[in-house]
Copies of this chain bind each other. A is one copy, B any other.
Amino acid sequence: MNATFSALAEPNRLQIVELLRDRPLPVGGIAERLRMRQPQVSKHLRVLSDAGLVQVRPVAQQRIYGLRAEGLKELDDWLEGYRRLWGERFEQLDDVLRDLQQKKGRSDGHRK
């Protein structure tokens, strides 16, 4: 999960992902459209690949990079635990919890 965020934290890498959202592309195609140098694109793709966000398919001497569903679904699953934050009236619950966080008055009462 951490690798996912790290990978997407880099602006160029995020751009690549957004570009591949439309369709898979060879390295050269990515470099051309994003005005980046080929070596950097390869490096970024390496990181994205390690994070499981993209996958490759060799065609001749080209390598077609496309998004990898599982990688992004992982992100979606992570978000699942946070969806209750919006859409629901969560602020009221927030207020309730506000009281509970009072340092948890334990037997170690030190009210100097």
Contact = CB atoms under 8 A, between A and B. Distances in A.
Nearest to A55: B94
B94 A24 contact: yes
A14 interface: yes
Contacts of A45: none
A69 B86 contact: yes
Copies in the complex: 2
Contacts of A6: 9
Contacts of A98: 24, 57, 59, 64
Interface of A: 1-2, 5-6, 8-9, 11, 14, 21, 23-26, 29, 57, 59, 64, 66-67, 69-70, 72-73, 75-76, 79, 81-83, 85-86, 90, 94, 97-98, 100-101, 103
